[in-house]
Amino acid sequence: MKYTFYAHSIMYRNTFFNVADLCRAALSNIVLKRNAGHNKWSNIKHIKGANDQQKSLLFARFSRQMKLAIREQNDSNPETNSKLASIIEIAKKNSMPKDTILNTLKTQSNSKADIHWHEIKGPRGSIILVQSLTENVRLLKQNLNTLVRKSGLAYCDSGAKHLFIHKGILIAKPSPDLTNAAEDCIEHAINAGAEEVETDSDDLEPGHFKVT
């Protein structure tokens, strides 16, 4: 391969090329490679950011559930508050940091927030029951009034809460050494007054039972 250099051009195989054009071509290749790497990093960063945001929302939901459980029972001790203990166990399984859990318990122990219920008329005669936990009732009502107005909804007369039945759902995993786990689970559920036992559902992990 032989090159002949000129002031403003290069000759290769009897063909003249402008030096500036060659530089732009070379630089464009470099930029393209750099952009490709940059896009790869951007994609990774975007996916990681989305996962982090999803985890953050999940942890925030667990924190709210813990606060409600503490206020409902007026007890921030998981050893004596079974509902709180259950939420903490699920939060740990979802990799919620221990420090975040402890901070939630500590904060709510010193909080003066109280539970409030709001009854709202939804579309086609439906009733929406909203449960809130706040220290600033006035600010909460202002924000809720704005949402209700913008959504075209309205508040119900008091008493709509009694149209609802509060039911609990228990997810259990029997010991692997049980031979008739399904039958035993159904029998115990019936004796406890349960309405339904599901052993095969899309939202259940294998080997788990849902009791309502």
Express each pLDDT in 14-54 by its tens digit: 444 555 555 555 555 544 445 555 566 566 666 666 677 88
Q: What is the rounded average pLDDT of the residues 101-115?
A: 84
Give the domain ranges of the chain. Answer: 41-111, 112-163, 164-211
Q: How far is CA 115 from the centre of its chain?
A: 22
**Token code pair at residue 190:** 């019936």
Q: Which residues pair with 172 in a beta bridge?
A: 209
CATH number of 41-111: 1.10.10
Residue 68 neighbours by CB distance under 10 Å: 19
Q: Which helix (H) or strand (E) holds 181?
A: helix 181-191
Q: Which helix (H) or strand (E) holds 19?
A: helix 19-73
Provide the whole-model pTM.
Answer: 0.52
